[in-house]
């Protein structure tokens, strides 16, 4: 089928007005997405889809050779699609990927196995969009019209696995990722290479995912298992995922400019000794969201210490943060706004409490925009914790903050679906 919509032409026409694009010479200098050509039709330059190109391509099973997904097609994940070790999947800017409905073993997901690479870098003007097959979005659009942030669990999500180390129970060197059945060996992650490279993820928006594979076992929007710091990840959005937005299982990868809106569980989740840095992040709660941050510590003898910095958390109906299971790390320069009066930031186990007072868990430079004092918003609920001492230390660590240096830079998120819906005006 041919597509001759003016919205495609507007993406690529560099003329000051459509009427000026009537010369064959001008048309010849313009660009169109893969699978389209510029032509002069009815006195205007337009992108016309080439004969023989497909609107949708079904994908299932293993990708065993390098391939490229192009922006003129919509790719349907009919179950799990696994990029095998040694293979690189390239995804063009503006490409739309849709996951089919299904739960359990039939849940759809795009999985990048250990030793594989994904080069998926959109742009602010043409992000890569991963959504449900039920979404009526078509090529060239930034969003459909029939789904919103309240609809989740309609497909799985994006899972990237690597050979970077984690801290696993029993001090094993590898582990099976959450959301993939135990007998699927492509779900293994972990190793000894902190510099492992799984590719590039840039300007990607992941929507309406989180399909369940079992009781209390759903797929996250973006799962990063043992991903190394040779991997480049920036400008990631997760909207309306049934489980967590972004979850780190060990690994050392750094992430810049991440936003999660209306997830069903936690926005940003740390597990198994994650030792990377996430900088400039935003969380906006939905009706059923749980925590902005859920921070778990190492499960084995290896420590691993992460850093989160410059985040803005907008709570609405949710909790602020939960530090538990011997958590280590630094969370600094964050801004907390619009949380309910009964929301709190809490430490809920003795080990995390001890780490806080020893300085290996630091929560510093936060601004709490609230009518309640820090002592009421922050609680040490661990069985033998000292809540009064915790409150005092939190007041000291967060007393002298400058609004100009804390929180996220919202200008980094103007490309997102979340921004387009007007929920970042705070």
**What's the pLDDT tens digit per position in 248-290?**
999 999 999 999 999 999 999 999 999 999 999 999 999 999 9
pLDDT category at 420 given cuts 50, 70, 90 is very high
Q: Is the pLDDT of residue 78 over 90?
A: yes
Q: Which of 31-35, 317-321, 379-383, 393-397 has the lowest mean pLDDT?
A: 31-35
A 10 A CB-CB count for 118 gives 22
pLDDT category at 398 given cuts 50, 70, 90 is confident
In a domain, 1, yes or no: no
pLDDT at 59: 97
In a domain, 425, yes or no: no
Residue 23 shares a structural domain with residue 100: no
pLDDT at 5: 38
Residue 80 shares a structural domain with residue 36: no
pLDDT at 304: 86
In a domain, 398, yes or no: yes
In a domain, 22, yes or no: yes
Residue 170 shares a structural domain with residue 319: yes
Side-chain half-sphere CA neighbours of 158 within 13 A: 25
pLDDT category at 37 given cuts 50, 70, 90 is low
Q: What percent of the chain has pLDDT over 70?
A: 85
In a domain, 113, yes or no: yes
Residue 20 shares a structural domain with residue 114: no
- How far is it, in rounded angstroms, from Cα 198 to Cα 415? 25
In a domain, 264, yes or no: yes
A 10 A CB-CB count for 287 gives 11
Between these two residues, 372 and 144, which has the higher pLDDT value? 144
User: Can you tell me which residue has the tokens 């009781």?
Assistant: 215
Residue 316 shares a structural domain with residue 354: yes
Residue 29 shares a structural domain with residue 80: no
**Alpha-carbon separation of residue 181 from 175, 176, 393 (angstroms):** 12, 8, 43
Residue 395 shares a structural domain with residue 271: yes
Residue among 38, 2, 7 nearest 23 (CA): 38
Strands 212-214 and 217-218: antiparallel
Residue 21 shares a structural domain with residue 130: no
Using DSSP's 3-state secondary structure scheme, residue 417 falls into helix
pLDDT at 317: 82
pLDDT at 1: 38
Decide: 326 and 349 in contact? Cβ < 8 Å: yes
Q: Is the pLDDT of residue 45 over 50?
A: yes
pLDDT category at 7 given cuts 50, 70, 90 is very low
**Alpha-carbon separation of residue 158 from 81, 207, 236, 259, 344 (angstroms):** 10, 10, 11, 15, 30
- Looking at the structure of the chain, the number of domains it has is 2
In a domain, 426, yes or no: no
Containing structural domain, residue 39: 6-49
Residue pLDDT, tens place only, 373-397 = 898 999 999 999 899 999 999 999 9
The mean pLDDT of the chain is 88
Residue 37 shares a structural domain with residue 93: no
Residue among 67, 118, 127, 125 nearest 95 (CA): 127
Residue 33 shares a structural domain with residue 122: no
Residue 35 shares a structural domain with residue 94: no
In a domain, 344, yes or no: yes
Residue 114 shares a structural domain with residue 195: yes
Residue pLDDT, tens place only, 86-128 = 999 999 999 999 999 998 888 999 999 999 999 999 999 999 9
């Amino acid at each position: 089928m041919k597509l001759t919509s003016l919205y495609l032409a507007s993406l690529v026409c560099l003329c000051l007005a459509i009427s000026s694009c009537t010369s064959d010479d001008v048309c010849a200098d313009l660009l169109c997405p893969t699978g389209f050509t510029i032509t002069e039709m009815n006195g205007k330059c337009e992108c016309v889809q080439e004969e023989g190109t497909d609107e949708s391509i079904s994908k299932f099973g293993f990708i065993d050779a390098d391939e490229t997904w192009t922006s003129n097609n919509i790719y349907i994940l009919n179950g799990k699609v696994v990029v095998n070790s040694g293979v690189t999947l390239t995804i063009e800017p503006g490409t739309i990927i849709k996951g089919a409905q299904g739960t359990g073993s039939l849940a759809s997901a795009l999985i990048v196995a250990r030793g594989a690479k994904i080069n998926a870098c959109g742009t602010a003007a043409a992000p890569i969009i991963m959504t449900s097959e039920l979404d009526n979005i078509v090529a060239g659009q930034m969003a459909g019209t029939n789904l919103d942030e309240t609809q989740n669990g309609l497909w799985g999500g994006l899972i990237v696995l690597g050979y970077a180390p984690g801290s696993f129970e029993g001090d094993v060197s590898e582990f099976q990722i959450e959301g993939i059945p135990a007998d699927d060996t492509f779900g293994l992650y972990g190793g000894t290479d902190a510099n492992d490279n799984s590719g590039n993820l840039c300007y990607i928006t992941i929507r309406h995912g989180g399909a369940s594979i079992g009781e209390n076992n759903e797929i996250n929007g973006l799962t990063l298992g043992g991903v190394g710091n040779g991997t480049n990840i920036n400008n990631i959005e997760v909207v309306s995922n049934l489980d967590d937005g972004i979850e780190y299982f060990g690994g050392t990868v750094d992430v810049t400019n991440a936003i999660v809106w209306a997830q069903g569980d936690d926005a940003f989740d740390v597990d198994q000794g994650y030792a990377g840095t996430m900088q400039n992040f935003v969380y906006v709660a939905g009706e059923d969201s749980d925590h902005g941050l859920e921070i778990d510590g190492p499960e084995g003898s290896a420590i691993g210490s992460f850093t989160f910095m410059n985040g803005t958390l907008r709570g609405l109906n949710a909790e602020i943060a939960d530090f538990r299971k011997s958590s280590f790390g630094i969370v600094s320069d964050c801004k907390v706004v619009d949380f309910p009066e009964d929301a709190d930031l809490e430490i809920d186990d003795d080990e995390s409490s001890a780490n806080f007072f020893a300085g290996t868990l630091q929560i510093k430079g936060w601004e709490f925009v609230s009518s309640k004092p820090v002592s009421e918003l922050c609680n040490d609920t661990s069985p033998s914790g000292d809540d009064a001492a915790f409150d005092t230390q939190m007041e000291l660590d967060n007393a002298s903050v400058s609004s100009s240096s804390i929180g996220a830079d919202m200008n980094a998120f103007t490309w997102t679906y979340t921004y387009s819906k007007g929920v970042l005006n705070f």
